[in-house]
Amino acid sequence: MSTELQKPKTTAGGGQKLPGRESADRKEATQGRWAYTLLAPSLVLLAIVIIYPVINAIVMSFQKDSGLDATTGFFSEGGPAGFDNYIHWLVQQCTAPGGGSVACPPGTLGAQFWDSMGTTFFFTLVTVAFETVLGFWMAIIMARAFRGRSLIRAAVLVPWAIPTAVTAKLWFFIFAFEGIANKLFGTQILWTGSEWPAKWAIIIADVWKTTPFMALLILAGLQLIPDEVYEAARVDGASTWQRFRLITLPLVRPALMVAILFRVLDALRMYDLPAIMTQGANGTTTLSILVVQQIRQGFNTAAALSTITFLVIFLVAFIFVRFLGANAVDAATSSGKAK
Amino acid sequence: MKSKKLLLPAAIAGVLAMSLTACGGGGGGGGSASSGGGLSGDAANNLDGRGPITYVQGKDNSNVVRPLIDKWNAAHPNEKVTFKEQSDQADQQHDDLVQNFQAKNPNYDVMSVDVVWTAEFAAKGWLQPLKDKTSIPTDGMLDATIKSATYNGTLYAAPQSSDGGILYYRSDLVPTPPKTWDEMMSMCSIAKAHNIGCYAGQFQKYEGLTVNAAEAINSAGGKIVDDSGKAAVNTDQAKAGLNNLVQAYKDGNIPTEAITYQEEQGRQAFEDGKLLFLRNWPYVYNLAKTDGSSTVKDTFKMAPLPGKSGPGASSLGGHNVAMSVYSKNKATVSDFLKFITSEETQRFYATQGSLAPVLTKLYDDQALVAKLPYLPVLKTSIQNAVPRPVTPFYPAVTKAVQDNAYAALKGEKSVDTAISDMQKAIESAGAK
């Protein structure tokens, strides 16, 4: 579907046969030049704010962090490191006091790499799963016509409108030992003081905050489905479940995949919620938290870690776009033209 | 067409992933080049320079800095000080300073530096050693504050304000405060009889846990790093110290929920009458006396932290003021440092901002004690205080202490393993 819709766009200019072949060529050339001129500012901007930092981070990741010179007591430049910084993270090896390397002892950042990788993916899978199901449900409710619909739509947006740091502080107080959560349920759970409660506290906070985002994107997809399709199905005697499974799901799929893609990428770099609610304690250290903590101990090792994080997210995004058909651009153009 | 079809998804994935992670890669280059033993490089320049300077400090919550600077500016019309106010988050202040040092910004002349950052900045070669032309008088200052500003035997900053831990106790339930840890533990039966928690400090996994673990270890005669900054925590004394905390948590003398406590939660519990003893900073005094919700207004008193056989070793808080090696007007900065550490300014800090002075004699000043009744207790606390590990690898050291002390408290590993892991993790930090 998307390819057909794209075709006229990519062949525009060449497709139109004008009386004089030359003028058409010239027009195409001028248009091309114009296009580049108009694109240039945004390309330059992208180069400055995205490409330069990424390349700089990659260059830095191949440098050693500055080390303490025992004789002067001052730090001195580390020099080239090769792949040492990457190896440090991937196999969790730290420099031994006498030279050589040992397994990073507990209490170092290096010892936490694979744990935090696992934590990050765990959070991503669980939160996005919850958000998709709940978001779908909310979207279906919001798509109906009923009194007070705009009120519901506005109300649903509130959690998304609150800055994440504020949300985190909010839930921090809710999950405090003397907080509302324990008072309400009459429990004595150390929400931020033990492993699984801490993880669930963060999942609950994240789901609360980002489900509205999911719901809105899905709602946008739902509203593109023409009513006639449902009417026809009803005339043919399709049940509610059949209508949902055979019409709603396939037609909303492009929008749904884009929403999931955005949420997955977002969740993979989760930082604020665990940083504020638990400071990464009790198995809630995500990759981003690890990067920020490492920045204070040495930029170059941190650059290696953020490059690894970048590659991981790149891979996930690639898999989504390539194999699961989540295509942000195609979906946008097709939804623009579907009407 | 086909190749385009293949490239497009990859390109989209790439741009998305990049824009999402690019912010992680920022930051500048590594540390600056080393300089030799004497004054060399930037540290040797502009020693006689005079002119306007900029003072950098975190958010001035109690409005102390501006009146001080107005006073200085009135007296020094040609060497005016401009105030650059940072955020109120310590981490952000640290990162802001690091960025400006790396950029060799000459407009960051003099800055307030947390005691635990001093060694790191000094080792990076960013701080002007306070000797010869730029020296300041340090007589009359509390020893621990000078130690916190000293790296490799050289003073790198002027002590600005201090802070130490205090034991708050319920004077209606405990007539005489405990002098030692064991004595305090034996009083926990009183707490049980009244159905309240016995002791709490700051045990959540954050900087506060380093403070509390270091106090336990230092009070028992152990240390975390030795004078040369090398890991020295793997000793029986350190194990005994950490074990005091671990045992108390296991016995219930430290209530279970205390593992989620930072300063504020502990204060709340104490003000609600739910704690017999609380280790906290002096700021709690005024709040516990005046908070409408405080139930212990007239029933609490203060004592020095309990130690092994006498007062315990508090961790030291507070700030130092340092001079940047990149400053163009070091002679002016030097005068400004003397102004900050003068008795008059220190008195102003105490009365206006409730900041603990660094000059010993102010702790016995009757007028000040009348205003800040915790000063005599705080004096004992700071006189016995041990600075948190003075090491250029402080972020790694505090992480090593927090992670392992936390695991020991929660019973995830034995005290022996925790201390030996702590030792290894600190060693690995310095080995890079």
**Distance between CA atoms of residues B104 and A82, nearest Å:** 28
- Which residue type does B263 have? E
Distance from chain centroid for Cα A175 = 25
Most B CBs within 10 A among A2, A297, A320, A330, hence the mutation to make, goes to A297
Most B CBs within 10 A among A299, A311, A320, hence the mutation to make, goes to A299
Q: Is residue B181 part of a domain?
A: yes
How is A74-122 classified by DSSP, letter by letter?
A: SEE---B-TTHHHHHHHTTEEE-TTSSEEEPPBTBSGGGHHHHHHHHHH
Task: Write out residues 328-357 of B within 8 Å (CB-CB) of A.
Answer: none
Q: Are residues B307 and B322 in the same domain?
A: no
Average pLDDT over residues A223-234: 91
What percent of chain A has a predicted confidence (pLDDT) above 90? 53
Q: Is residue B202 part of a domain?
A: yes
- pLDDT in the model for residue A99: 75
Q: Is residue B18 part of a domain?
A: no
Is A28 a residue whose pLDDT tops 60?
Answer: yes
Is B125–A75 a contact, with Cβ atoms under 8 angstroms apart? yes
- pLDDT in the model for residue B274: 95
Largest pairwise CA distance in chain A: 88
Domain that residue B403 falls in: 166-315+393-428
B414 touches chain A (CB under 8 A): no
Give the chain A residue nearest B98 (alpha carbons): A296
Which of A40-54, A96-110, A228-242 is predicted least confidently? A96-110
Q: Are residues B208 and B150 in the same domain?
A: no
- pLDDT in the model for residue B236: 95
Q: Are residues A22 and A138 in the same domain?
A: no
pTM for this model (two decimals):
0.84
Q: Which of A97, A108, A265 sits opposite B400 (nearest CB)?
A: A108
A24 touches chain B (CB under 8 A): no
Which uninterrupted H or E stretch holds A29?
A: helix A21-46
- pLDDT in the model for residue B88: 83
Q: Are residues B47 and B122 in the same domain?
A: yes
- pLDDT in the model for residue B7: 52
Q: Are residues B284 and B215 in the same domain?
A: yes
Give the chain B residue nearest A58 (alpha carbons): B25
Most A CBs within 10 A among B19, B21, B225, hence the mutation to make, goes to B21
Task: Write out residues 208-267 of A within 8 Å (CB-CB) of B.
Answer: 261, 265-266
Complete edge-to-edge strand list for the sheet that includes strand B158-164? B81-85, B53-57, B110-114, B316-323, B158-164
For residue B84, the distance in angstroms to the closest alpha carbon of chain A comes to 23
- pLDDT in the model for residue A10: 42
- pLDDT in the model for residue B135: 87
Is A161 a residue whose pLDDT tops 80?
Answer: yes
Whole-angstrom CA distances from B75 to B50, B79, B80, B327, B340 are: 14, 9, 9, 21, 14
For residue A180, the distance in angstroms to the closest alpha carbon of chain B comes to 14
Q: Are residues A180 and A33 in the same domain?
A: no
- pLDDT in the model for residue B91: 84
Whole-angstrom CA distances from A185 to A205, B3, B123, B317, B327 are: 17, 58, 52, 39, 59
- Which residue type does A181 have? A
Q: Are residues B178 and B81 in the same domain?
A: no
Neighbours of A280 (CB within 10 A): 24
Q: Are residues A92 and A118 in the same domain?
A: no
Average pLDDT over residues A111-137: 95
Q: Are residues A54 and A185 in the same domain?
A: no
- pLDDT in the model for residue A329: 56
Domain count of the fold of chain B: 2
Give the chain B residue nearest A314 (alpha carbons): B17
**Distance between CA atoms of residues A266 and B379, nearest Å:** 50
Q: Are residues A230 and A178 in the same domain?
A: yes
For residue A242, the distance in angstroms to the closest alpha carbon of chain B comes to 32
Is A271 a residue whose pLDDT tops 50?
Answer: yes
Q: Are residues B89 and B149 in the same domain?
A: yes
Which uninterrupted H or E stretch holds B158?
A: strand B158-164
Q: Are residues A126 and A90 in the same domain?
A: no
Q: Are residues B123 and B195 in the same domain?
A: no
- pLDDT in the model for residue A148: 84
DSSP label of A191:
T
Q: Are residues A190 and A287 in the same domain?
A: yes
Which uninterrupted H or E stretch holds B277?
A: strand B275-280
Q: CATH number of the domain that B352 lies in?
A: 3.40.190.10
Measuring CA to CA, which residue among B117, B107, B409, B46 is closest to residue B248?
Answer: B409
Which uninterrupted H or E stretch holds B111?
A: strand B110-114
Degrees, nearest 5: CA angle B331-B390-B128: 15
Provide, as residue numbers in chain B, all residues whose Cβ is less than 8 Å from the Cβ of A299.
Answer: 27-30
Q: Is residue B289 part of a domain?
A: yes
Distance from chain centroid for Cα B366 = 27
Domain count of the fold of chain A: 3
Is B392–A104 a contact, with Cβ atoms under 8 angstroms apart? no
Q: Are residues B323 and B180 in the same domain?
A: no
- pLDDT in the model for residue A166: 94
DSSP label of B259:
G
- The length of chain B, given as a count of residues: 432
Whole-angstrom CA distances from B23 to A44, A279, B409 are: 18, 20, 36
- pLDDT in the model for residue B369: 92
**Distance between CA atoms of residues B311 and B180, nearest Å:** 7
- pLDDT in the model for residue B30: 36
Q: Are residues A179 and A289 in the same domain?
A: yes
**Distance between CA atoms of residues A34 and A55, nearest Å:** 29
End-to-end C-alpha distance for chain B, whole angstroms: 51
Q: Are residues A257 and A290 in the same domain?
A: yes
- pLDDT in the model for residue B132: 84
Q: Is residue B306 part of a domain?
A: yes
Domain that residue A89 falls in: 67-105
Provide, as residue numbers in chain A, all residues whose Cβ is less than 8 Å from the Cβ of B204.
Answer: 192-193, 279, 281
Average pLDDT over residues A95-110: 85
Q: Is residue B9 part of a domain?
A: no
DSSP label of B359:
B
**Distance between CA atoms of residues A192 and A169, nearest Å:** 12
**Distance between CA atoms of residues B403 and B395, nearest Å:** 12
- pLDDT in the model for residue A11: 43
Residue A18 burial by CB count (10 A; 0-12/13-18/19+): exposed, middle or buried? Answer: exposed
Q: Are residues B210 and B123 in the same domain?
A: no
Q: Are residues A218 and A243 in the same domain?
A: yes
Is A53–B430 a contact, with Cβ atoms under 8 angstroms apart? no
Question: Which residues of chain B, if any, have pLDDT below 70?
Answer: 1-38, 431-432
What tokens appear for A77 in the block? Answer: 């430049």
Q: Are residues A151 and A168 in the same domain?
A: yes
**Distance between CA atoms of residues A27 and A37, nearest Å:** 15
Q: Are residues A144 and A75 in the same domain?
A: no
Is A314–B18 a contact, with Cβ atoms under 8 angstroms apart? yes
Q: What is the mean pLDDT of chain A?
A: 85
How is B194-255 classified by DSSP, letter by letter?
A: TTSEEEE---SSSHHHHHHHHHHHHHTT--SB-TTS-B---SHHHHHHHHHHHHHHHHTSS-
Is B395–A296 a contact, with Cβ atoms under 8 angstroms apart? yes
Is A339 a residue whose pLDDT tops 60?
Answer: no
Which residue in this structure is represented by tokens 């280059």? Answer: B29
Q: Which of A57, A72, A318 sits opposite B37 (nearest CB)?
A: A72
Q: CATH number of the domain that A131 lies in?
A: 1.10.3720.10
End-to-end C-alpha distance for chain A, whole angstroms: 14
Phi, psi of B276 (to 5 degrees): -85, -45
